[in-house]
Amino acid sequence: MKLNAEQLARFDELGYVFLPDCFSEAEITALRNASAAVLEMQRPDIWREKDGTPRTAFACQQYNEACKLLASDERLVAPVAQLFNEEVYIHQFKINAKAAFTGEVWQWHQDFPTWHKDDGMPEPRAMNIAVFLDEVMPINGPLMVVPRSHKAGALESSHDTETTSYPLWTLDKKTVTEMVDRNGIVTPTGKAGGVLMFHANMVHGSAGNITPYPRRIVYLTLSAVSNAITKPTRPDFIAHQDFTPLRATSANILKEYAERAAAAPAKSALAA
């Protein structure tokens, strides 16, 4: 799958593009079940909110089949390779689980400054792809993005290690206010199965979730192979150091996996 001319123009102008209905209900059910299984684990690469609720599960494509298939799915890989006009590798894979009632904020930030300062990524030739596992609504802590903010380049940021359990290079109130006054705020929302792709220098953040509705999102970060990190300071499960070009796999593979996963409980019930 590649982006069409309208989508390419939208990405260039706004810094993001939203693709609704990218994944089927069956695929999302399989991925949601896989994420639930991952988040139940006790592992050092699964980080938690201050109350112990799972917040982020890193690198689960390395041991979970559904996540592995998603990470190489052509629907995610091909558009990024198209934009960078070269092969890509996985810089990061994670499930962000903004739990019902307890999901905390994500501070206003850009991704590239963290990747550059903490990982030694040379240029913002990497991109986050968000796959909605739940419906993202205006009320359950949706991602807020500032359109066109990517055009400002990497902004001055400071290292915040106190606001939440996840340290980030964050933007101050003055910078965010100026950006929002100039460009406004958009909250891309949609049902499960939608995909949001956004530029590495897009200013974004999200409020806490005090609703009964969880907001789980898989984030796949792909980087151009020529843009591999040079001075990683974070664990490999956060910033991968395998720069092997990613081979895109057919969308049919994940679809077939979802069909098998859906059939398995029915077979178990018949056997019982």
- Tokens encoding 239: 């910033």
Please tell me the predicted confidence (pLDDT) of residue 96. 92
Q: Give the separation between CA 45 and CA 57, rounded to whole angstroms.
A: 6
What is the 3-class SS of 39-97, one letter each residue?
HCCCCCCEEECCCCCEEEEECHHHCCHHHHHHHCEHHHHHHHHHHHCCCEEEEEEEEEE
Residue at 231: amino acid letter: K
Please tell me the predicted confidence (pLDDT) of residue 166. 65
Q: Give the separation between CA 137 and CA 242, rounded to whole angstroms.
A: 35
Q: What is the CATH number of domain 5-271?
A: 2.60.120.620
Residue at 109: amino acid letter: H
- Tokens encoding 219: 């984030």
Region 135-139: what's the mean pLDDT?
Answer: 96
List, for residues 100-114, the tens digit of each pLDDT value: 998 888 899 999 999
Decide: helix, strand or coil at residue 227. helix
pTM: 0.92
